[in-house]
Each structure stands twice: as structure tokens, then as C-alpha cells.
């Protein structure tokens, strides 16, 4: 007979494959991003868009060319 721990493990495994809904996606548009692996001044990327899905950063790029997913929550990052 499966134990509670096995059931929880099975449920977690099954849920891990479900993609994030649009409500779980946040786009921070126009923010300044500091790249820790670069030296100044190239470490500073102003006017960037950061796409966050759930608790993970999915992509970072220039605000003018980084697409924002439909239905994403938008946060104005200008000056931040």
C-alpha cells in the first residue's frame, strides 16, 4: 500500500511537468539589470525586460526586442 510520502512524491512529480499559466508570469519592463559576471561599464544594462515565470527568471533582454508573454503581469521598472 502506498504511503503518504509516496503519494506526495508522485503528485510533485506530476505537477512538475505542468507549464506555468500566464498569471504566473511577470514582466518587469524598462529596468536596469546588473550582470555580476561582467566588468563595468558593460555590466550595467539599462532599459531591460526581465521575464519571471513562477519563481524563476526565464529571460532578460533589451526592452525593445524582448517579447512579453500575453497575459503577463506588467511591472514598470523604469528608473529602478
pLDDT, one tens digit per residue, over 23-64 is 599 999 999 999 899 898 989 999 999 999 999 999 999 999
Q: In this structure, is residue 15 part of a structural domain?
A: no
Give the whole-angstrom CA distance, residue 65 versus residue 25. Answer: 18
Q: Which pLDDT belongs to residue 5?
A: 47
pLDDT at 18 over 70: no
Q: In this structure, is residue 55 part of a structural domain?
A: yes
Give, in order, the Cα–Cα distances in Å from 11 to each of 16, 42, 50.
9, 44, 30
**pTM for the structure as a whole:** 0.67
Q: In this structure, is residue 9 part of a structural domain?
A: no
Residue 13 has which C-alpha cell? 512529480
Q: In this structure, is residue 12 part of a structural domain?
A: no
Whichever domain contains 46, its CATH number is 2.30.40.10
Range of the domain at 63: 20-76
Give the whole-angstrom CA distance, residue 29 versus residue 76. Answer: 5
Q: Which pLDDT belongs to residue 22?
A: 52
Domain count for the chain: 1
Q: Which pLDDT belongs to residue 4?
A: 47
Q: In this structure, is residue 32 part of a structural domain?
A: yes
Amino acid at each position: 500500500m502506498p504511503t503518504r510520502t509516496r503519494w506526495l512524491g508522485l503528485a510533485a512529480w506530476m505537477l512538475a511537468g505542468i507549464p506555468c499559466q500566464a498569471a504566473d508570469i511577470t514582466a518587469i519592463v524598462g529596468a536596469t539589470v546588473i550582470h555580476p559576471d561582467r566588468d563595468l561599464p558593460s555590466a550595467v544594462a539599462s532599459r531591460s525586460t526581465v521575464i519571471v515565470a513562477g519563481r524563476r527568471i526565464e529571460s532578460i533582454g533589451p526592452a525593445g526586442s524582448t517579447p512579453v508573454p500575453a497575459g503577463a503581469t506588467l511591472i514598470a521598472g523604469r528608473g529602478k
